[in-house]
């Protein structure tokens, strides 16, 4: 009987560290899980700020009415709010810094993950639509495109391309609508524009593959899509060669044989500013 009790005590002492490790592993997984977790509350939406943006060529200039809302960004957790205030995150100057220059060293010091050379395709069921740089479509060929357009249904989940720090999540950068900016360990940053909603707040740390928002049509677009940019020291780079896990179009749309058309240029409310009538390009 005494021998049985001793064996039971030994087995329980050996099992407890393993059980503790399992609990720790589960806790770490729950903290950075990739399934969608919507914010507990959203910030109050400001009145939608709209403005006219000139477009067109050959002497005919039409103006389109652009709106960067409705704003849908989360109320930040207390720890994230404190970090954002300490580091100066979440404000327009922070977004502008990553658009035109280098990140601040104290921002990079917060990111503990190892740098990666590849990027995760940010919309699991999103189709490549418009590429980086100048395109052949006549009505927009004069404008350089600083990222990729990925077309998906409104509300489709957006994933973080890599581990990173949320530097900006708001709709104060014109044309982007609800914009999320993540800073990564290698000093690059990724921009997620036109979001319908953003799930993470400035000051938060996110994991690669974590759902961080929803595809939408805020800002410039007339159909839902994600505008995705990859910048180093403020200079936009073509992210396509670095992206992995890009879905096959036939897996998403098995009945379509043709290449998916890019999103049309913004032609919401054309207003003629010259003596000639404005023409709306065929879609």
Q: Please answer whether residues 60 and 82 qualify as being in contact, where contact means their C-beta atoms are separated by less than 8 angstroms.
A: no
**Per-residue pLDDT, 260:** 56
Q: Among 26-35, 147-156, 214-223, which range has the highest average pLDDT?
A: 147-156
Cis? peptide before 70, omega within 30° of 0: yes
Residue 177 to residue 96: CA distance in whole angstroms: 15
**Per-residue pLDDT, 129:** 77
Cis? peptide before 204, omega within 30° of 0: no
Overall average pLDDT of the 212-236 stretch: 90
Residue 220 to residue 223: CA distance in whole angstroms: 9
Instruction: Tell which wins on pLDDT, 145 or 216.
Output: 216
Cβ-Cβ contacts under 8 Å for 184 (sequence gap 6 or more): 111, 115, 116, 161, 162, 163, 164, 190
Q: Among 42-46, 230-234, 268-272, which range has the highest average pLDDT?
A: 230-234
Q: Among 31-35, 50-54, 100-104, which range has the highest average pLDDT?
A: 100-104
Residue 179 to residue 92: CA distance in whole angstroms: 11
**Per-residue pLDDT, 263:** 57
- Residue 134 carries which DSSP code? -
Q: Kindly list the strands in the beta sheet with 50-55, ordered across the sheet, starting from the edge strand earlier in the chain.
A: 50-55, 62-67, 271-272
* Displacement of CA 83 from its chain's centroid (Å): 20
- Residue 277's pLDDT band (boundaries 50, 70, 90)? very low
Q: 243: which strand partners?
A: 119
pLDDT(223) > 50: yes
- Residue 89's pLDDT band (boundaries 50, 70, 90)? very high
Q: Where are the domains of the chain?
A: 50-252+263-272
Q: Please answer whether residues 192 and 213 qualify as being in contact, where contact means their C-beta atoms are separated by less than 8 angstroms.
A: yes
In words, the CATH class of domain 50-252+263-272 is mainly beta
- Residue 147's pLDDT band (boundaries 50, 70, 90)? confident
Q: What percent of the chain has pLDDT over 90?
A: 49
Whether the full predicted model's pTM is greater than 0.85, yes or no, is no
- Residue 140 backbone phi and psi in degrees, to 5: -130, 10
Residue 114 CB: number of other CB atoms within 10 A?
A: 8
pLDDT tens digits, one per residue of 241-262: 999 988 877 676 666 554 555 5
239 phi-psi bin (left φ>0, alpha ψ -120 to 50, beta other): alpha
């Amino acid at each position: 009987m005494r021998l049985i009790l001793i064996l039971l005590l030994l087995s329980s002492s050996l099992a407890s560290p393993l059980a503790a490790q399992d609990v720790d592993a589960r806790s770490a997984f729950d903290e950075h899980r990739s399934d969608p977790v919507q914010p507990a509350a959203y910030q109050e939406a400001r009145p939608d700020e709209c403005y006219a943006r000139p477009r067109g060529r050959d002497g005919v200039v039409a103006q389109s009415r652009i709106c960067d809302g409705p704003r849908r960004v989360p109320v930040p957790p207390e720890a994230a709010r404190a970090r954002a205030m300490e580091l100066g995150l979440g404000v327009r100057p922070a977004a502008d810094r990553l658009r035109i220059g280098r990140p601040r060293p104290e921002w990079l010091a917060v990111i503990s993950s190892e740098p990666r050379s590849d990027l995760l395709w940010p919309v699991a069921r999103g189709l490549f639509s418009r590429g980086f740089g100048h395109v052949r479509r006549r009505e927009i060929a004069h404008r350089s495109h600083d990222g990729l357009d990925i077309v998906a249904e409104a509300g489709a989940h957006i994933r973080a391309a890599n581990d990173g720090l949320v530097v900006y999540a708001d709709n104060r950068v014109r044309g982007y609508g609800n914009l999320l900016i993540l800073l990564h360990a290698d000093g690059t940053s990724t921009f997620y524009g036109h979001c319908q909603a953003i799930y993470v707040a400035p000051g938060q740390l996110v994991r690669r593959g974590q759902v961080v928002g929803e595809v939408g049509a805020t800002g410039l677009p007339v159909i839902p899509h994600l505008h995705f940019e990859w910048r180093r020291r403020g200079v936009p780079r073509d992210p396509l060669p670095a992206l992995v896990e890009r879905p096959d179009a036939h897996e998403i749309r098995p009945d379509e044989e043709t290449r998916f058309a890019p999103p049309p240029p913004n032609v919401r409310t054309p207003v003629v500013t010259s003596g000639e009538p404005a023409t709306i390009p065929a879609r």
